[in-house]
Structure 1
Amino acid sequence: MINQEISKDMFAPAHIDPSKSEKIAKPSLNFWQDSWLRVRKNKGAVVSIVILGILIIMAFVGPMITPYEYDAQNTKHNNLPPRIQGLENVHWLPFDGTLTRRNGTEYNAYEVRKVDNYYWFGTDALGRDLFARVWTGTQVSLFIAFMAALIDMLIGVTYGAVSGYLGGRVDSVLQRIIEVIVGIPNLIIVVLMILVLKPGIVPIIVALTITGWTSMARVVRAQVLKFKNQEFVLAAKTLGASDTSIVFKHMIPNMFGVIIINTMFSIPNAIFFEAFLSFIGLGLQEPNASLGTLVEDGFKSMIAFPYQMIIPSIMIALIMVCFNLVADGLRDALDPKMRD
């Protein structure tokens, strides 16, 4: 072995720069940035967000890219199956314009009736373009659902915050009112309100918001009771902040995650109720269209022309599943107890 000299310099302590001792190597993330990173790890939520984005865009763009109006009738072209340019020669796809007779034989409805037009989703019994009607109906259903969810959020957050913060006799009275409302079946209240107000977009939104805010109010009340005796609230009281400022500037921002999650879960419920009311004839009236009215119209001729009910039914199922998956992903991301 070769002898090596070990100098005293090799045992000298390392030079440490005090200015870099507490330097953070990675950029710090706030609560929402960290939550977004967690949402991105949930593949189901990400795919659902993309699908919902496409559906929302198509709800506004779809009626514009077709040459037909959603309420324009052409009885000569009634009950035509879907046919799309470029896909009409692909027989294993349901876009070639063929129908099946009762004896099992197939025929091309466009050739038999000598129709040169293309209806991407087919037509209904009055010859109206289903492509335009489906996207217009999606637009209406989403509008009703978002408005109902927004009103539920505003009423529920305010009611629950007041009930939880004031406490005592006020809290007892407000909670008994909620218990009375919850004790009455939700469906009965909604149907009675529609019968009293007559069918329409505004009556449906009002009917959905009569009882929809109760769950939000209970959740917000529980959060306010948890925050009411914490240090940041006591500090705000000591500094002379008003009760309104404490509730709306200090407490509610700390429960944004819970509010967003409950609002996201209420949207598919509103879509389902709107579709149900339309299906039993208490929804929008002709010539207006929603996904529920389209399913109700297609149900009348389900055996002969199944596409008239299948297409809007798929749209309803897709919207509800995507919203539930997004809400589930947000719950996992925003709830501290779900953090890995």
Structure 2
Amino acid sequence: MKQNDKINKEQFEPAIIDASKSEEISKPSLNYWQDAWLRVKKNKAAIVSLVVIAFLIVIALIGPGLSKYEYDKQNTKHANLPPRVEALENISWLPFDGTRKLKNGDIVNPYEQKGIEEYYWFGTDNLGRDQFSRVWKGTQISLYIAFLAAFIDMIIGVAFGAISGYFGGRIDNILQRVIEIITGIPNLVIVILMILVLKPGIISITVALTITGWVGMARVVRAQVLKLKNQEFVLASKTLGASDAKIIFKHLLPNLVGVIIINTMFTIPNAIFFEAFLSFIGLGLQDPLASLGTLIDEGFKSMHAFPHQMFIPAVVISVIMVAFNMIADGLRDALDPKMRD
């Protein structure tokens, strides 16, 4: 500071502070779901996964209708054709030009050899059925089974866990022994026995998946109910004469929504994988129906000669499982930050 500069008295005057604004909230208040959505939006992986899942659900619904070929229509003259897309067939470095490489290194074009002018975007299987229609039809069925199984697991698990945790005592002991008996038997054995008793199909697979799938949800809900049932708001409801059902459904379950959603989101990819596993070992859907598991099983049998038949459904199921797990991780961090690793 220069010596000639002078300091005015006004610079030493205290600042004027408005006491009425000391407790003013500058940001709008957010409820639980708005705050959770802000946390989810910060998780880029969860948002991208959400977009991917939305796209796959839409394409699974409209995909079979985009192709002029039915998913169950056979044409043995067009069997085992590689993928060919009209707009991409002249780009040699893309695998959509209708050619395939033989074991000796030669490249052949089955479309030209058989005089076929049609275009099969994902190729055909060993019976000449359009793989594009079958992949999206299989995705549709796999997602349907997974969502249905997860919904049933949620209903049974939440009801079982809430009743067990809230009433406690003898009821809790009996219900927990039931869970221990179910978990004591290998899951795969129960599922295989159920599918052998019932005819293979969507309903039998869903029933098989829900026999033991609800146990994890029941245990989580029971633990949360045990923690909440002795808190002040529950005791106040009891004092005011609220019934047990009202306390469970109006006071306890709304506080468990975050945990229920998180566990349900983790259940969906597990159900998709388990359904694919059952289909892969021959206990899944029967022709002409297809799921991602049956498509992978059929493609595995001719993987060396026609790798696209297994590669495409395998990529689809991998993307679905990774996306659902990323969404579940994002929801876990947003809805229940205490569960964060």
CA distance in 2, matches of 1:228, 1:199: 43
Moved more, 191-200 or 24-33: 24-33
How many residue pairs are counted as aligned between the two chains? 338
Question: Following the alignment from structure 2 to structure 1, what is the Cα–Cα distance between the partners of residues 219 and 189?
Answer: 22
The correspondence of residues 217-256 of structure 1 with structure 2, limited to 5 A, is 217-256=218-257
Amino acid at match of 2:108: Y
Please give the TM-score of this superposition, normalised by the length of structure 1.
0.95
For 2:268, give the aligned amino acid.
I
Counterpart CA distance in 2 for 1:13 and 1:303 is 81
Moved over 3 A (4+): 1-7, 9-13
- The superposition leaves residues 316-337 of structure 1 with CA deviations (integer Å, 9 ceiling, x where unpaired) of 1111111111111111111232
Instruction: Work out the CA distance in 1 between the residues paired with 2:336 and 2:44.
Output: 18
Letter paired with 1:247: I
Tell me by how many angstroms 1:266 deviates. Answer: 0.7
Structure 1 residues 162 and 71 mapped into 2: Cα distance closer, same or farther (>3 Å)?
same
Deviation at 1:29, TM superposition (A): 1.3
Partner amino acid, structure 2, of 1:175 = Q
Name the CA distance, whole Å, in 2 between partners of 1:15 and 1:47.
46
Give the drift of 1:2: 7.6
Q: What's the counterpart of residue 88 of structure 1? A: 89
Shift of residue 102, structure 1, vs aligned partner: 2.8
Q: Deviations over 1:125-168 (max 9, x none)?
A: 11111001000000000000000000000000000000000000
- Measured at CA, do residues 339 and 71 of structure 1 come closer, stay the same or move farther in structure 2, by a change above 3 Å? closer
**Number of the residue aligned with 1:40:** 41
Separation in 1, partners of 2:340, 2:201:
44
Q: Is the 8 A contact 1:302 1:309 kept in 2?
A: yes
- The within-5 A match list for 1:129-278 is 129-278=130-279
Is the 2:159–2:218 contact (alpha carbons within 8 Å) kept by the matching residues of 1? yes
Is 1:14 the counterpart of 2:16 in the alignment? yes
On the 8 A contact 1:100/1:107 being kept in 2, the answer is: yes
8 A Cα contact 2:120 2:132, kept in partner: yes
The residue aligned with 1:126 is: 127
Which structure 2 segments of 5+ residues have no match? none
Task: Tell me the alpha carbon deviations over residues 53-101 of structure 1, each in whole angstroms, 9 at most, x when there is no partner.
Answer: 1111100111111111111111111110001112111111111111122
2:49 touches 2:327 (CA, 8 Å); kept in 1?
yes
- The one-character-per-residue Cα deviations of 1:90-133 (angstroms, maximum 9, x if unpaired) are 11111111112232201111111111111000001111110010
Given that 2:332 and 2:340 are in contact with CA atoms closer than 8 Å, whether structure 1 keeps it comes out as no
SS at match of 2:100: strand
| Paired residue secondary structure (2:269) | helix
Q: Percent of aligned pairs with the same residue?
A: 67
Distance of 1:338 and 1:156 partners within structure 2: 20
Instruction: Measure, in 1, the Cα distance between the counterparts of 2:106 and 2:7.
Output: 96
1:29-61 CA deviation, whole Å, 9 max, x = no partner? 111111111112222211111111111110011
Please give the alpha-carbon distance, in whole angstroms, between the structure 2 residues aligned to 1:165 and 1:339.
26
1:333/1:339 contact within 8 Å kept:
no
Give the partner amino acid of 1:301: S
Residues 107 and 5 (structure 1), Cα distance of their counterparts in 2 relative to 1, 3 Å cut: closer
The answer for the alignment partner of 1:335 in structure 2 is: 336
2:82 and 2:5 map into 1 onto residues whose CA distance is 91
Query: Which range moved further: 199-208 or 104-113?
Result: 104-113
Q: Report the residue type matching 1:138 in the other structure.
A: T
| Paired residue secondary structure (2:104) | coil
CA distance in 2, matches of 1:13, 1:50: 51
